[in-house]
């Protein structure tokens, strides 16, 4: 039996303004918060009603409800570059996201028949992992840190999916009173900032921003948001500096802004995240994560690696191995692997030369081929690696230890 429970839900966003502070988290750091509340419908099983009622009676927020369902839910970004890159990565791992209608927010992965894909905004992926509406998700570490706020139920399964690279950084104007300011320490020590006139920092990161400033002992700062691109805020006089995501840094330079030493809050890229409760309580969730993780690890380890095959004359495999290993770039990933190539001479089978196989990273490919040819290699064949499956998956062991299972 299920009932329809109408309750208050927290706002999906925070709005901060540079006006006189309404809320001060500490005597030295002030910022004002305006929080909107909305009504929402939530389907709750009857078995959870008593716990919800107890929480309401105690005046605390209702706990997230783990609703029984057979499908594992994976949250992916719904649009933008992160969305395309996430789908491409899964495709490279032979996990094909099948979406019947591009306007639908749910899809399937035939290779994981017990898994549904739900397309959501990145911040909503984090929120729904915490609420129990999603079990897994791919989001940037910046979004996870901002909206997850170090919640212990969120577990990073794989922290480096090789896309969405950026960093969260403080940027200040490169002119006026900031012209000779090049570090966070110098920014904090500027005599202009005091209780009556604090440093105004425009940002969308209303959790990470104050946390970073407090950890660095920076006083006299207020946080605000600005409509549109944050890069315009200092020039418009809305803020003194900004805290925003930076990829190439080109946009900052075009708006006469510069990053400063010590001003990087965190490095970010896409990560696979899971709900601890889902992995320990949802049937099939742990097995699904294991398969996804193995595919990811095998593909990402092979990314940028090449197999190089060549023929080499020699009297024995040991002699050929010594010549190959005398070159610093030819030891490769594991190897070289050396096999005899059999030929027929005068009606007899004999070994005339050897085939060697090495694995080298893309950046060392050309130099490796040159060294290989220098020691007698010929007929060199090069092909990209797609997967490297190890005996075990290191991150799987780490996950099990984290879960204590």
CATH of domain 66-165+269-303+387-405: 3.40.190.10
Fold of 172-265: D-Maltodextrin-Binding Protein; domain 2 (3.40.190)
Decide if 268 contacts 141 (C-beta within 8 A).
Answer: yes
Nearest to 80 by CA among 108, 126, 122: 122
Decide if 225 contacts 16 (C-beta within 8 A).
Answer: yes
CATH 3.30.70.3270 fits 305-384, yes or no: no
Residue with token string 């190959």? 324
- Tens of each residue's pLDDT in the chain, 405 residues: 443 343 334 433 333 444 343 333 444 444 433 333 333 333 333 334 334 333 333 433 344 555 678 899 999 999 999 999 999 999 999 999 998 887 889 999 999 999 999 999 999 999 999 999 999 999 999 999 999 999 999 999 999 999 999 999 999 999 999 999 999 999 999 999 999 999 999 999 999 999 999 999 998 999 998 766 899 999 999 999 999 999 999 999 999 999 999 999 999 999 999 999 999 999 999 999 999 999 999 999 999 999 999 999 988 999 999 999 888 888 655 678 999 998 888 888 888 889 999 989 999 999 999 999 999 999 999 999 999 998 888 899 999 999 987
Residue with token string 């490279």? 92
Whether 66-165+269-303+387-405 and 172-265 share one fold: the answer is yes
Decide if 90 contacts 97 (C-beta within 8 A).
Answer: yes
| DSSP per position, 44-105 | EEGGGHHHHHHHHHHTSPPPPP----SSEEEEEE-SSHHHHHHHHHHHHTT---B-SSTT-S
Would strands 32-35 and 14-17 be described as parallel, antiparallel, or unpaired? Answer: antiparallel
The total number of residues shown for the chain amounts to 405
Indicate the domain borders of the chain. 66-165+269-303+387-405, 172-265, 305-384
């Amino acid at each position: 039996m299920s009932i329809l429970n109408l309750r208050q839900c927290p706002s999906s966003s925070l709005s901060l303004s540079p006006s006189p502070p309404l809320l001060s988290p500490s005597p030295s750091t002030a910022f004002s918060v305006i929080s909107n509340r909305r009504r929402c419908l939530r389907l709750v099983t009857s078995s959870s009603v008593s716990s919800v009622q107890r929480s309401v009676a105690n005046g605390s927020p209702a706990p997230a409800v783990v609703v029984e369902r057979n499908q594992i839910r994976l949250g992916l970004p719904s649009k933008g570059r992160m969305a395309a890159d996430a789908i491409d990565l899964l495709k490279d791992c032979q996990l094909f996201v099948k979406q019947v209608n591009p306007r639908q927010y749910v899809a399937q992965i035939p290779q994981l028949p017990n898994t549904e894909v739900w397309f959501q905004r990145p911040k909503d992926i984090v929120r729904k992992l915490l609420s129990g509406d999603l079990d897994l998700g791919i989001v940037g570490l910046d979004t996870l840190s901002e909206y997850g706020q170090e919640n212990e139920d969120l577990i990073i399964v794989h922290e480096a999916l090789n896309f969405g690279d950026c960093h969260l950084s403080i940027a200040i104007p490169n002119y006026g009173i900031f012209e000779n300011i090049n570090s966070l320490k110098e920014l904090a020590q500027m005599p202009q900032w005091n209780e009556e006139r604090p440093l105004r920092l425009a940002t969308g990161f209303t959790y990470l921003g104050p946390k970073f400033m407090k950890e660095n002992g920076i006083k006299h700062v207020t946080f605000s948001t600005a409509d549109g691109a944050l890069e315009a805020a200092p020039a418009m006089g809305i803020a003194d500096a900004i805290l925003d995501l930076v990829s190439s840094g080109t946009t900052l330079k075009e708006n006469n802004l510069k990053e400063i030493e010590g001003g990087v809050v965190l490095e970010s890229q896409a990560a696979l995240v899971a709900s601890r409760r889902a992995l320990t309580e949802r049937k099939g969730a742990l097995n699904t994560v294991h398969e996804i993780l193995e595919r990811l690890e095998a593909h990402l380890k092979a990314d940028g690696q090449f197999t190089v095959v060549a023929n080499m004359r020699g009297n024995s495999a040991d002699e050929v191995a010594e010549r190959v290993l005398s070159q610093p770039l030819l030891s490769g990933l594991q190897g070289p692997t050396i096999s005899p190539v059999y030929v027929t001479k005068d009606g007899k089978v004999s070994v005339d030369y050897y085939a060697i196989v090495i694995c080298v990273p893309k950046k060392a490919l050309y130099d490796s081929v040159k060294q290989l040819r220098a020691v007698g290699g010929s007929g060199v064949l090069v092909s990209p690696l797609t997967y490297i499956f190890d005996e075990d998956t290191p991150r799987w062991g780490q996950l099990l230890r984290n879960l204590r299972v």
